[in-house]
A = this chain, B = another copy of it.
Amino acid sequence: MAADHLSITFGALADPTRRAILARLTKGDASVTELAKPFDMTLPAISKHLKVLERAGLITRSRDAQWRPCRLKAQRLEEAADWVERYREFWEQSLDRLGEHLREMHRKDKKNDQRHK
């Protein structure tokens, strides 16, 4: 099966350096050298990450300018957000259950406190 968009997007996001690069690009376009600076990484290592991000359609790189600035391209992230959001009711349910459980424990503690007074 050809890798689908969503798998490629999630795969590209499954790395802290790549996520940090995307975060940096929210502040404006940047060259490879600029992107490499905050990371203790060689330019080839950063370039490899940029290739993954570019193939995933999460960044574009100018073909014209000498310094080939990278630019954030956020559209694919919308698809990822849509997928994850479908599960919102499930994590909210778990939080509700946790809250209910904590309230229940609190009630029991109070009962015990009264009994031992």
Task: Spell out A's residues near B (CB within 8 Å).
Answer: 1, 4, 6-11, 13-16, 19, 22-23, 26, 72-75, 77-78, 80-81, 83-88, 90-91, 93-95
Contact = CB atoms under 8 A, between A and B. Distances in A.
A81 B85 contact: yes
22 contacts: A4-B16, A6-B13, A7-B14, A7-B16, A7-B19, A10-B10, A10-B13, A13-B83, A13-B84, A23-B86, A26-B90, A73-B94, A74-B90, A74-B91, A74-B93, A74-B94, A75-B91, A75-B95, A77-B87, A78-B91, A81-B81, A81-B88
B16 A1 contact: yes
A25 B94 CA distance: 14
Contacts of A8: 14
A15 B7 contact: yes
Given A7-B14, A7-B16, A74-B90, 8 more contacts: A6-B19, A7-B19, A10-B13, A26-B86, A72-B90, A77-B91, A78-B91, A81-B81
